[in-house]
Structure 1
Amino acid sequence: MFDFEYHLKMLPDKPGVYIMKNDVGTVIYVGKAKILKNRVRQYFQNSKNHSEKVKKMVKVISEFEYIVTDSEIEALILECNLIKKYKPKYNILLKDDKEYPYVKITSNEDFPRIIIARKKIKDGAKYFGPYPQYSKVKEIILLIKKIFPLRTCKKTIKEENEGGVKTRPCLNYHIGLCKAPCSFYVSKEEYLKTVQNVVDLLSGKDKSIKKQLEKSMYEASENLEFEKAASLRDKILAVDKVSENQKIIFGNFENEDYINIYRDDKDSCIQVFFVRNGKVIGREHFIFEDTVETDKSKIITDFIKRFYGGTAFVPKIILVPFIDDKELIENWLSLRKESRVEIRIPKKGDKLRLMQMIEKNAKISLEQFKLKYIIEKDTNENTLKELMKALNLEDMPERIESYDISNIQGVDSVGSMVVFENGRPKNNDYRRFKIKTVDGPNDYDSMKEILDRRFSHGLKEIESVKSHNLNYSLGKFCVFPDLILMDGGIGQVNAAKNILKRYNLNIPIAGMVKDDKHRTRGLIYNGEEISLKGYDRVMKLITRIQDEVHRFAITYHRSLRGKRMLHSVLEDIPNIGSSRRKELLKQFGSIENIKKATYDELILTPSINNKAAESLIEYFKKSKGGD
């Protein structure tokens, strides 16, 4: 249950990227913001200015998250990277899969041009970028031309003394955007100095350029040349905009992971940024509680061992603020990757600044986690108090168990039990049951069976726990619920009551009922329907529990059905044992592919001999593709 009001209040006054998700966690929109707090809030305010597309999108947003950056341009670049990764439904205009454009200086020419390039090739030219949008590159080139006029035309120009042909200058010269080398209004030496200034500016060496412009501006002001001073001021502003740092994209990087940590007085958060081909394609954070007494270097080291011990991909370079046993960890990672892996500790430059940005995000993630936990705890407690009031219960239902049955015409009938403690799902206590004593589609008797098994096992465990003086948490069934919710009406409730009566258990039981449109309507309790009108939070909790128990039952049912189908097809074929079944599925991926396979294809499968291949072909030929 995502609390929009709370999360909107917690948005920072910083630039960044926001990520909108629907009710199944799919990313549906990625956007950038100069100030996250202002931009994201606009979506959830009533506004006639919202387009139909935005109105439609807002209706299906179930949650959002964000990444803080150091500047708006970083947010823009990161936004493009994430859009390319997620391909969100509502980012239609940015769904192209083209390369990011570059600013290209054709330094392989006598009078170099400044142009836009879609690809970086080895042609002797200088490339800067890539940049997030074509329009952004056009803007940068226009800003540069206002500071240092360079040509953009396709003319082949040579010096006059080398036989160059003089031509008329174009409009760009007359509006101050070109020095007209085509008309020999500028020498090659002077022009190349301008080119070098542009290269320095795009390379981040802007301090000397800015200093010189400022000196000229003050001189013009002292000489009362205010127009010239204003023009120089505009050039200084353009320099600032062009030279804005871009830590989100790096031109010379390969596959790298950046890892940093933030720790408060109790807990820690590790943030990982994934850089692929110089682009940040995503991030992930991990919360570690009660780490105040653990050295941060050890936390990072242990994290790397756990994280890369279970992941399929190990990058070539991992950057961290500090680490223990660096050489040992490098060797271990190199063995896993089967090629050299380096662990580096950035000391200066863009890499260090990116690490600092990651630490900021780790700090925000940890703060948000703690505040979210506190608010969720309070919200869940109030919700359970409202549920207690609605059902007139004596105690607050801190532990709720819910049950459901799933089958198709009585085949592969299964039962599920999900557990919510303090308003949150407790996945470790989920249980599933394969119906053993009931034939056919009899949900009531099936429910009696799983409840009987659940509570009989629970009572036996309680006796064992007491006799051995053990902790109740060690048992699978010995912790009993404060409230049982059945996925159904009065029939399911009565079935549960009969089982509890058999074991002399006094646990409140309610049934979750749905309307004609299959939406949660209310609860059946003590023989009557309890309306939950006015109990919005309780209704959300009940709906969530009902959806979860149904999902868990359906998942198990499909699993059993899949196994049964495999049995009916493969286990009944002569000369096909368990090892050959595994090899066939490994080789072909599915039963349908095995059916379509030729004799020559089958015989190439490990452990499949002539006799086994003939048995397969004969079986599927007789069944005509059926099971």
Structure 2
Amino acid sequence: MADPSSYRPPPGSIPDLPGVYRFRDATGRVIYVGKAKSLRSRLNSYFADPFGLHQRTRQMVTTAASVDWITVGTEVEALQQEYTWIKEYDPRFNVRYRDDKSYPYLAVTLDEEFPRLQVMRGAKRKGVRYFGPYSHAWAIRETLDLLLRVFPARTCSKGVFKRAGQIGRPCLLGYIGKCSAPCVGSVTAVEHRQIVEDFVDFMAGKTDTLIRRLEREMMSASEELEFERAARLRDDLAALRRAMEKQTVVLGDGTDADVVAFAEDPLEAAVQVFHVRGGRVRGQRGWVVEKTEELTTGDLVHHFCSQVYGGEQGESDVPRELLVPAVPADVDALADWLSQHRGSRVTMRVPQRGDKKALLDTVARNAQEALTRHKLKRSADLTTRSQALEEIAEALDMDTAPLRIECYDISQIQGTDVVASMVVFEDGLARKSEYRRFIVKGATDDLSAISEVLRRRFARYLDARAETGELGDEMEIDPDRPGIDPHTGKPRRFAYPPQLVVVDGGEPQVRAAAAVLHDLGIDDIALCGLAKRLEEVWVPDDQFPVIMPRTSEGLYLLQRVRDEAHRFAITFHRQRRSKRMTASQLDGIPGLGEIRRKVLLRHFGSVKRLSAASVDEIASVQGVGKRTAEAIKAALGGDTTTTNGTEEGDGSDVSRDA
């Protein structure tokens, strides 16, 4: 492992200009490529204190043995050179948006005398109209099968087309009406081209005109008593509508755009792209990439655009518009570079409202589901789970694998609504029936909160253990199953001790948790903390953290446990905060319980509308009487005057003063 200072360029030798740089290992292989607006500023950041770097960046600079660079005139040139080098060297430490295949397009060969409809991959060529990309070739063939009865264009290869012309007999598609058989002269070249142009118009989104024309022809055939032709046109219309259902209009203005969204954690990011052409979703693609350094969402957008667009294998379909969750710092240069590839102006923006914002949210949900599936597929395998537990035991120097892991997280906003969560994983799987939530009232910060929660949890454990020891014979408690209630057969709350306690945080949180366990006299439970920033594993009384490999199954399991605790805690915190903000004014009103509060809020929609309602309007709600309605009005600051001009504050009718 190299010391970065051994190959650091001399001070002042790095130019303060835009450029592209390469890190090489001891064999001369390029392991990382990057671009910068200022080479001096960017490269100097790599030679700072290694422990302050992102884990993956630290691994890269210690693997490298040299660095070189070239300067360019503009950021656009730097983007182009960065793209070229990444494609040329395929560096191992760069974010990789890479597939094992190119994506298929539906292609129409308009440059031929008899244009052909076909599935096409690879580099695009002039004279061919492309629709897509699609996720799978079968999706194209399924669409074609529906449309060929309406647009019976040629789909056969040149060899088949030539052979049919020589023998004077069309192929099977010609006999069943899914090809107009131009090979044997059933239609002329002009008529066949018109069929193809109608197909292109339909795929481009010009569907209404075609459907109206077919409807007119169907009605005309029916009036002329040509019922067979009318029935055929009816079936054609049904086929067109089924094809349109498969390509639902999501943007009514006929937008050509790629909608890109990300879901990420500190180590990985899932990317989802919806290709919208003519307002319709033509295809969808997705990746899960490894984050090579500490990246913002804008950085991920930069890496995505600079690697996916401009290639030669089907990725060169640059749209007019890119809808992204955040714009990178070099958005202007990136848009100029994409515009050069497209040949016309490309815009990149973050939608704020309307249909485009709704579509971006949909893509973001798909990205989150993709990331979740990617992480959970590891837990589905027993061998993988066993490996993860063994790696954790080895990293933390435990005697046995931690079959029960408990993780704690704190959620608060400036000391208000402080709550904590406890999640339980047994044998590498979530045990949701064992989850617990804590309301923390005596804490002012995360450290005091984690101390209070652990003290409460393990004090309960010690009480349960003492009760088991004192009353074991009388209660006939099974010594092999001390956590099971002998009468109900159900687990006794907090009776099971974990083999490993994980806290969400670094050294301070671990120190606070260790102090609690020491005060309680518990020395047989392992403890660690997982810090979000660099995914470092901290253990008590160690000056430096444990660094687990990024590809470690044990690290993935600890991440899942930590993320689940965070999700559980923040969900509880939001529930309490929402309840406090919406219904706190209704607390403590005589005769108004939780059920009636919910009924009132559901009826009026908000506390503000409830406070504006009259006593009679409140009393008209089912289950709410006159006295309770008056109490509500008094609590919300309104007067208790009823609509008939009387006051009933004490239950009797009193004439109003003039």
Same fold (TM over 0.5): no
TM range (shorter): 0.3 to 0.5
Task: State the TM-score, normalizing by the size of structure 1.
Answer: 0.40
Task: State the TM-score, normalizing by the size of structure 2.
Answer: 0.39
